Structures are given as structure tokens and as C-alpha cells.
Chains A and B, each alone.
Chain A
Amino acid sequence: GAGVSQSPRYKVAKRGQDVALRCDPISGHVSLFWYQQALGQGPEFLTYFQNEAQLDKSGLPSDRFFAERPEGSVSTLKIQRTQQEDSAVYLCASHLRGVGFYEQYFGPGTRLTVT
């Protein structure tokens, strides 16, 4: 079946612009995660949804970052007033259940470059 998909794959934004990154999880997956991967580093957790509920947003670096999943499927990560330090690959992952520990599957990522 289809895996996790993300769009756009690449985004170039001028400093100060707002951007929106989309994630389509695997169909039926309850849990959805966003991670940020800086160049040469491992991914770092940003936020977690169980269905439409955002249960953990402890990794969001500032109040310029906002995520939503209004119908419990597709999720959008929005970054307002982008800064150069926001340049990174943004990865989305999903797993099947809400409670418990299950294998996470990752999308291909969106590479954001802020100029």
C-alpha cells in the first residue's frame, strides 16, 4: 500500500515568509509525528497527534511553528515569519495505533531552505 507522503518535497522561502508543509500518513494510522532534521544531524521530535488531538508539542522550537490535523488524517505544519535557522528537512511519520509502541514509518521529507 501507499506509504507516508509529504508535499512539497522542496520549498524555498524568503526570510519572513510563511510556509505550510503537508503530510499524508498511511491510511488508517492513528498516530502522526513531525520531526526536524538539520544538516548532518539526526531527526528531532517536534510534535505528536493522536487522531486530531495534538498530545505533545514540546519539541516546537518557537511560537512561529504551528501544526494541525483537523480531521485526524492529513496534517499541516505551518511556519510563520520564516528565519534562516528554520532551514532543515521536515519529516513526518505515522504508526498504526494511539496507545502503545509501534513501528513508525517516515515520509520522504520536505527540504526547506530559507534565503
Chain B
Amino acid sequence: GIQVEQSPPDLILQEGANSTLRCNFSDSVNNLQWFHQNPWGQLINLFYIPSGTKQNGRLSATTVATERYSLLYISSSQTTDSGVYFCAASPTGANSKLTFGKGITLSVRP
């Protein structure tokens, strides 16, 4: 099945800094999503982005499907951005079940 790898595994930032989180996937995809898992375990949808670029406030994401990677950009980070960020993908030709990466743990310090 599809492999989803995220890097770096851990990231520590000072409040106000910018960061880039990376997701590599092993097959062509029809669905790619970024999630933020809050301290209570809720997966919050950030982006549905199988290709192209999207922006939502301080967050933006780019997926280059032909090169099999996606990037999540966080600008002007805030302490509330802390938590685990997951990338998940569904390969072309399969049903739409998601395969998740292991996550990136982000800590933003005041």
C-alpha cells in the first residue's frame, strides 16, 4: 500500500517564527489532507489538497502531485499552533480510505 512519510518528526519554534512541514507519499493520490490534532485528540481539518496551493490565514499548503510531496507552511506561529500535524493520503484507484503519516509534533514556545 501507499507509504506516507512526514518530516521532521519534532519541531520546536519560538512564537512568531515560520515553519515548513513536509509530507512525502509513495504513489499517485486522489486525496491528500492535512490535520491538526489538538491536545484533546480531535483531528481538525486544515486542508484538503490533492494538488495545487491553498491558503487559510497564517497557514498555507502546496501539493506537487507529480513529485509526490506536500508542504504545510505555518507563518507567525502562535502557542495555540502546538500539537501534532498529520498528513494523510488516499492512492489513485483505491477506495477513499486514508493512510496517515506518523505525525509531526510541533511545540511553539512563548
Contact = CB atoms under 8 A, between A and B. Distances in A.
A44 interface: yes
Contact of A104 (B30, B33, B41): B33
A111 B103 CA distance: 19
Interface string B34-52: 0100001111010010100
Interface residues of B, number: 23
A48 B102 CA distance: 21
Interface stretch (A11-19, A62-70, A94-102): A94-102
A103 B101 CA distance: 17
A109 B50 CA distance: 25
Contacts of A103: 31, 33, 45, 48
Contacts of A33: 97-98
Contacts, number: 61
A105 B96 contact: no
B86 interface: yes
Given A42-B103, A91-B43, A108-B41, A48 B48 contact: no
Nearest to A108: B42
Interface of A: 31, 33, 35, 37, 41-45, 48, 55-56, 59, 89, 91, 93, 95, 100-106, 108-109, 111
Given A103-B33, A108-B40, 14 more contacts: A37-B41, A43-B43, A43-B98, A45-B97, A45-B98, A48-B95, A48-B96, A89-B41, A95-B96, A101-B30, A106-B43, A108-B41, A108-B42, A109-B42
Query: Nearest 8 pairs between A and B by C-beta?
Result: A42-B100, A103-B48, A101-B30, A106-B43, A101-B31, A45-B97, A101-B96, A108-B42
12 contacts: A41-B102, A42-B101, A48-B97, A56-B97, A89-B41, A101-B31, A101-B50, A103-B31, A103-B33, A104-B33, A106-B45, A108-B42
